[in-house]
Amino acid sequence: MPQLSLLRQDVIKDEDWNQRTVLLSNASSTSTLEEQNSQLGLIIQKRNDEIRLLRAERETWNRKMAEMEQMLTGKLAETSQLREEKIASDAHREAQFTALRIKILRLEAQLGTQRMNGNIPCAQLQFERENKTAEIAKLRADLNRTTTFLDLDGWLYLEETASWYKALDQEMSFDEAEAYCGGRKSHLVTIHSQEENDFVWKLPETVDSDSLFWIGLKRNWNKENAFEWTDGSSVDFTNWKDPPSTRAKTVSVPCLHCGSCLKKTWSVHLLQHIITHASTRRFRCSKCDTTNHTLAELKRHHIKCRGETIDAIDSKMIEEWR
């Protein structure tokens, strides 16, 4: 009996130990979970701080962008106002230029009349001549300053025709070029004298080109294939390299030859560059130009047309381009 009692007591002690072990294990697990929750809370707080900083930075950038947009709007308005002022200033200078020319012509006419009038005393004539010569010199100086201002955009003035001229270098067909320049109160150049022809012939030098340049002469199929200027003026001067046939069946317009070997002559081609012309009240025009040769020339020089190889191009395709 005593032995049985001892055994029972030992069993009870073992059960008590197991219970203590479970309690200790549960306490340890609870402590680990609290530490994890604490670390997770720190991470969440850190992320929230980062989000707040990003939001603040975004608001700063939005404010800066709004300020920049407001500034750009103001600059655009200022630029628009300056452009309008420039247009008004150009118109005013153009009017001054015309008035100066008229005044010079009148003074020169008066001076010529006085020279021919023998009834005026020599001393008086000399005095008036000196005064008017000085006034003409002053007006010419003003005219030169105005001309220099107006010539900043490449326009050149010919006194014989009282017109402005400009050579332009940009690809465009003949009809497109005439329409483009017409929309800017100018037109393709018309030539009515050898002096004007020589002057126009030098214009391509201003764009560093030795190509062929459009002039404003075009056939009128309703008038027996005759040539006429696009501005309606009379064809009272020509300078053909080879006189064109009136029976030509291809669409053609004259071009001005450039280069010393070509003697400032005209030829009929399908395409090339453009020269624009405008009167003293119509001197505004942007760049225009065009490129074209006969099909034989294109093949001979291995040139490409509109990105197409020459062997793939026929006369019908060129007609469609026109």
Question: How far separated are the first and last CA of the chain, in Å rounded?
Answer: 131
pLDDT at 130: 74
Are the C-beta atoms of 241 and 266 separated by less than 8 Å? Answer: yes
Q: Where are the domains of the chain?
A: 89-153, 156-291
Residue of 269, 290, 282 lying closest to 177 (CA atoms): 290
β-pairing, 266-269 with 253-256?
A: antiparallel
Is the pLDDT confidence value at 306 over 80?
no
Conformational region of residue 75, where left means phi above 0, alpha means psi within -120 to 50, and beta covers everything else: alpha
Between CA 135 and CA 280 the distance in angstroms is: 23
Structure tokens at 194: 């050898």
Helix-helix angle 2-116:122-150, to 10 degrees: 160
Going along 129-222, which residue ranges are E strands?
156-158, 163-168, 187-188, 213-214, 217-220
Between CA 322 and CA 306 the distance in angstroms is: 12
Is the pLDDT confidence value at 291 over 70?
no
Cα–Cα distances (Å) from 151 to 11, 19, 196, 283, in that order, read 120, 108, 18, 10
Mean pLDDT on 184-211: 78
Is the pLDDT confidence value at 210 over 70?
no
Q: Domain 156-291, what fold? A: Mannose-Binding Protein A; Chain A (3.10.100)
* pLDDT grade for 163, boundaries at 50, 70 and 90: confident
* pLDDT grade for 38, boundaries at 50, 70 and 90: confident
Number of H helices, E strands in the chain: 6, 9
Between CA 139 and CA 96 the distance in angstroms is: 11
Structure tokens at 146: 């105005």
Q: Which helix (H) or strand (E) holds 111?
A: helix 2-116
Mean pLDDT on 197-203: 82
pLDDT at 29: 65
Cα–Cα distances (Å) from 14 to 19, 24, 26, 273, 276, in that order, read 9, 16, 19, 113, 116
Mean pLDDT on 232-256: 65
* pLDDT grade for 175, boundaries at 50, 70 and 90: confident
pLDDT at 99: 82
Are the C-beta atoms of 246 and 113 separated by less than 8 Å? Answer: no
Q: Tens digit of pLDDT for each residue in 3-37?
A: 444 444 444 455 555 555 555 555 566 677 888 88
Mean pLDDT of the chain: 67
Are the C-beta atoms of 185 and 284 separated by less than 8 Å? Answer: yes
Highest mean pLDDT of the ranges 69-83, 266-280, 291-305: 69-83
Q: Tens digit of pLDDT for each residue in 69-103?
A: 888 888 888 888 878 887 887 788 788 778 877 88
Mean pLDDT on 49-62: 91
Spell out the long-range contacts of 142-147 with Cβ–Cβ below 8 A and sequence spacing 24 or more. 142/96, 142/100, 143/97, 143/100, 143/101, 143/104, 146/93, 146/96, 146/97, 146/100, 147/97
Mean pLDDT on 98-110: 80
pLDDT at 299: 40
Burial class (CB in 10 A: 0-12, 13-18, 19+), 150: middle
Between CA 312 and CA 276 the distance in angstroms is: 33
